[in-house]
Each structure stands twice: as C-alpha cells, then as structure tokens.
Amino acid sequence: MDMKNVLNLKFILALVVCTSIVGCKRSSSSGNVDSATGWKINDKQGGFQYNTNYKEQETPQGTSFIEGGTFTMGKVQDDPMHDWNNSPNQQHVQSFYMDETEVTNLNYLFYLDYLKGVYPPDDPNYSLIYKGALPDTLVWRNRLGYNEMMTENYLRHPGYANYPVVGVSWIQAVEYANWRTDRVAELALQEAGYLKRDAQYTDVNAESTFSTDTYINAPSQTYGGNEDVLKGGRRKPQTDADGNEINVYAKRESGVIPVKYRLPTEAEWEYAALGMSELRSYNVYRGRKKYPWDGQYTRSGKRVNRGDQMANFKQGKGDYGGIAGWSDDGADITAEVKSYQPNDYGLYDMAGNVAEWVADVYRPIVDDEFNDFNYYRGNVYTKNALNEDGTVKIVTVEEIVYDTLSNGKIIARNLPGEIAKIPVDEEETYLRTQFDDSDNRNFRDGDKRSSRYYRENFDEERDENKDLTRKMYNSPKHSVEIDSADGKLLREYDKSSSRTSLINDEVRVYKGGSWRDRAYWIDPAQRRYFPQDMATDYIGFRCAVSRVGSKSQKNSKRRN
C-alpha cells in the first residue's frame, strides 16, 4: 500500500471517529430538547429546567414495593356474623409502597423527641403540641386486670423498642405521617445539595422549620427565610445569560422531592395484606385467598416449622399465646415486629399483632358501582390559603390551630412554617364533573337502613347548611367546650335515648385483627370501625407512599 492510500485510509478513519462522536453528542443531548418545539431544555443560558435524566422513584426508607392490579375486595368465605359490610367486589389498585412493619415505639419516640426539641413543652405557646402527640398509655388499664407494667413501660422501655406503637388515634397517626414526609424530604434535599447539611440539628427552632408544601410553593420562606440553610448546600451556583441565579431551589420537576407519606386506603391495605404476587404469575387469580399466607389455616404446613402459628392472635378463651415453654405464637400481648414470616410482598404482621388504622371513613358498604379504581371514602379537598397580595399564607407561632376532640384532648392541626389550608370553593368546583364540594365523606352513603329518615325526606332539596350525614346516621353528639371564665373543659355526654347508630363522619376503618382478636378477625377482608380521635391497646398503624411513573419497577420481570 503506497503512502497516498495510507493517508486516505487515516482520513477516512478519522472522519468515522468524528462522525461517531458528533452522533453520540447529538444522541446524548436529545433528551434536553423539547420534542414539540425543538427548543433546548436545561440550557445554561436559562429557560425551562427539568430533570430529563430521572430514572424512577426510589423505594422509600423502610417500605416494600406493591405492584398494583385487580383483586376481589371483601370476604370470599362464609360470613357467619352476617354483617354484610364486606361483600365481595372487584377493585383495581395502583402501585404503591407500604411500610414493611407497623410503626414501632422507637419510630414514634423519635417523632416525640423532635417535637419536644423544636416546640419545648415548657413554653406555654407550644405545650399542647407535644402533649397532643403523646400516645394514650392508659389504654392498657383494665378494671379487673393488672396491667400497670405496660402502662408505665410499653411506650418507652428499650425492651419494647421494636414493638408496634399503640394508644395512637387515627388523627395522631395522620400527623405522624405528615411529619415523616417533611423529615424525609428535608434529608433528601440535603443529600441533593439544595439545603445545608445537618440543618435539622443546627438551625431548627419553632420559627425556623422545614415544611415540604412550603418549600414547593414558597421556598424562600422555609426555615423562616434563613438563607444560610436555603443556599448552604453543596450544589454549585448556576446563573443564566444575565447573571441571575437559577436552580436555587428544587421543584417537583427536579424529581428530588419525595412523594408524601400517608395512611394506606382500605383497598390498598387489603390488597397488600393478601400478597397475591405468586397467584398473578399466570393471571390465574380467582379471588379465593383468605389470609396473607397460602392456605386456609392459621398454622404452617411447611416441614421445617409445621404446626407453628403464622400470626399473633388470641387462640381461645384465656389463651393469648399458648403454654409457657412451648408457645403457640410466642407472644401474650403484642410481639416484636418481624417475629413472623412476611407475606409475598415482604410485609410483616398484616394479620395479628396489632390491628391497623387505614385512611377511610367507615360505611357499611363499599360503593363499587360508582368507582372500582383506587377506591377511597374520605376525600376532603383543600387548597392553599392566600394573602391579599396573592402569596401563600404561612402559619406563624400565633396562628397555630388547635382542635378540641370529642374526648377532650387537644391537638395541633398545623404547625409554624406550614401553609394554611382552606376548603375548595366554587373557583375549583364550578361546572366540574368529578366533584362539586370540598367534603365528600358522606357522598352516596346508600345505607338507608342506618337512617331514621330513610322512609321520608330523601327527595327534599339539598340544604347546604345541614350535615347530610345526620339524616343517614343518627349517632351520639358529645359536647366539649372551653369555659370562657376559667379556661377549663366542660365535657357533656350525649344523653339522648333515641340514637340508632355509632356511625358518623368521624369513624375510621381499622383492619387486620390483633393480639386481642380471635382468628376470625385476621382475615384481611374483615373491617371494623373506631372513632378517629380515640385510641386502644390493639390498634397501631403503618404508612404508605404512592407510586409515580410506571406501574412496574424497571428491574422487575414481566410475566406475559
């Protein structure tokens, strides 16, 4: 080969390499160009900023992924109690995440410690915040039983650290989930470089806190406007063509802010408890599963542990755990979390141990005729309150809202630094087909048998000033007021002899059976209700997080 041909070959090779490099650059930058207009995204000069490299939602701390699908909600076995409140119906649930275990005493003590540090209970301005979050340890007392050891030790003693927290009302569980949302988001933003590291230890007080909603809607007012925290992260400053700072704060478009924690809906909880991943492998699901484990019995049939109980529940009269030294379930009251095998979704104690609060308001029916997708009763739609200048209204120390519950307890419904919320109004509901009211808890109640008015007055025009649920559910109305003279609570029981129901808009569903319950109640289809502002020694809770994006995780194997 002569020198001329060698030079030509080198030139061709160099041209191929250059072409491949240019091609790679174009390919790698294609995600940063708007496919509809051709304009650049994330340009260094400014303009629209968006996380085009987002992969998928990370599994939140302590949770398991639950891939959504269809299932038969309700009792698929005989109903000897004839409650008729859990008739089988087909539902579809979106993918979500759920805590592997019930929230433990240690988890909840961490929450209490935070509140105590940020809102000192010895300060009159904040004393009710900490007090309102405390679990009711007196739930252990029994007039004919000696349970003072649990009353004094169960919540705080290290021997019970990893046992499920009890004595927590539904309202307290919701407040814990909200607090957890903020703490997880706060850490995520620190790790992403948007916030100063360890600010939760060095810069937090009652007037300088982090709220996820506030950060999204008015980020400069988070931490009381402390720029040392808001701009003290390790991210390199970015500027546009005019030298103005950009990307100072994370947005939803950044993909950095986690999805909020909440209580699972009843449909989600029941779906997750059944653990049907194996049954769905070849789409052979027939809606016949009774327990979180396979089979129709509460004892294991596996050779290695044959005969062992699969959950912690009451075996029979006077039998909460079996004979000492050869125990049926290894517990007399609650058991340490993860004491039994998880179900197919990796969830522990979805039967027994403690029953669990779910998000739904209780009604004797599940209205699958109206909706069979992500079913949930309890929607109360709100929006951000605005100041006169159109900015969001941030709650100050003087504007904390306290609720006096039916049992006389007082809890804080918002905290300094959060955005004040108000009901949606005609601005959101006018000519809208999906909803026309803020409070939808009693929408399509349908259960006329629970009403003393069901034979009359159902055709009258709607009166916006009346509580429609009173027509449907004639439940007791206890009175708790604060005496204006001395500030003491005046408690008065409802002494009416004509009440016909305990159901109202303030009773919530709980699921799963408990250490106090017979085997009948550990069927995930069983549903009971309890006042949302009261607590017991057998109801705890766990949190859920919604899945954003794809239904399946990207590393999961498709079954079809």
Residue environment code for 311-342, b if the CB has 16+ CB neighbours within 10 A, otherwise e: bbbbbeeeebbbeeeeebbebebbbbbebbeb
Q: Per-residue pLDDT for 12 more than 70?
A: no
Mean pLDDT of 96-109: 97
Mean pLDDT of 188-205: 94
Helix (H) or strand (E) holding 64: strand 63-66
Q: Per-residue pLDDT for 264 more than 70?
A: yes
Q: What is the pLDDT, as a whole number, of residue 141?
A: 95
Q: Per-residue pLDDT for 515 more than 60?
A: yes
Going by C-beta distance under 8 Å and a sequence separation of 6 or more, which residues neighbour residue 125? 206, 397
Q: What is the pLDDT, as a whole number, of residue 461?
A: 47
Rounded Cα distance, 312 and 63, in Å: 22
Q: Quick one: tokens of 312?
A: 């912690």
Mean pLDDT of 27-53: 83
Rounded Cα distance, 542 and 66, in Å: 14
Task: Give the tens place of pLDDT for each residue, 226-244.
Answer: 999 999 989 888 888 888 8
Task: Band the pLDDT of 458: cuts 50, 70, 90.
Answer: very low
Domain boundaries, the chain: 444-504
**What is residue 106's DSSP assignment?**
H
Q: Where are the extended beta strands (E) located within 285-354?
A: 322-323, 326-327
Task: Band the pLDDT of 23: cuts 50, 70, 90.
Answer: very low
Q: What are phi and psi of 521, to 5 degrees?
A: -90, -10
Rounded Cα distance, 285 and 277, in Å: 10
Q: What is the pLDDT, as a whole number, of residue 30?
A: 52
Mean pLDDT of 90-102: 96
Helices vs. strands in the chain: H and E counts, helices first = 11, 20
Task: Band the pLDDT of 305: cuts 50, 70, 90.
Answer: low
Q: Quick one: tokens of 460?
A: 């009258």
In this structure, of 133-137, 208-212, 328-332, 427-431, the range with the lowest mean pLDDT score is 328-332
Task: Give the tens place of pLDDT for each residue, 465-487.
Answer: 455 555 567 788 888 887 767 76
In this structure, of 69-73, 369-373, 553-557, the range with the lowest mean pLDDT score is 553-557
Q: Per-residue pLDDT for 340 more than 70?
A: yes
State what percent of residues in the chain have pLDDT above 70: 80
CB 111, CB 138: distance < 8 Å: no
Q: What is the pLDDT, as a whole number, of residue 19?
A: 52
In this structure, of 58-67, 72-81, 196-205, 243-252, the range with the lowest mean pLDDT score is 72-81
Task: Give the tens place of pLDDT for each residue, 364-410.
Answer: 889 999 999 999 999 999 999 999 999 999 999 889 989 888 888 88
Rounded Cα distance, 135 and 539, in Å: 12
For residue 122, give Cα distances in angstroms to 119, 130, 209, 395: 9, 10, 19, 21
CB 193, CB 233: distance < 8 Å: yes
Q: What is the pLDDT, as a whole number, of residue 371?
A: 93
For strand 355-361 and strand 539-540, is the pairing parallel, antiparallel, or unpaired?
parallel
Mean pLDDT of 204-216: 95
Q: Where are the alpha helices (DSSP H) in 134-275?
A: 148-153, 170-191, 199-202, 212-217, 227-230, 266-274
Helix (H, G, I), strand (E, B) or coil at 298: coil
Task: Band the pLDDT of 318: cuts 50, 70, 90.
Answer: confident
Task: HSE, CB side, 13 Å, CA atoms: give it for residue 188.
Answer: 25
Q: Per-residue pLDDT for 26 more than 50?
A: no
Q: What are phi and psi of 127, to 5 degrees?
A: -55, -35
Rounded Cα distance, 31 and 424, in Å: 38
Mean pLDDT of 148-168: 96
Mean pLDDT of 255-260: 95
Rounded Cα distance, 541 and 360, in Å: 13
Q: Where are the alpha helices (DSSP H) in 89-169?
A: 105-118, 127-133, 148-153
Q: What is the pLDDT, as a whole number, of residue 429?
A: 93
Q: What is the pLDDT, as a whole number, of residue 176?
A: 97
Q: Which amino acid is at 389?
A: D
Q: What is the pLDDT, as a whole number, of residue 282?
A: 43
Q: What is the pLDDT, as a whole number, of residue 295?
A: 57
Rounded Cα distance, 259 and 280, in Å: 27
Find which of 20-29, 256-265, 439-448 is predicted with most confidence, using mean pLDDT.
Answer: 256-265
Rounded Cα distance, 263 and 538, in Å: 17
Mean pLDDT of 6-34: 56
Rounded Cα distance, 69 and 373, in Å: 10
Rounded Cα distance, 99 and 184, in Å: 14
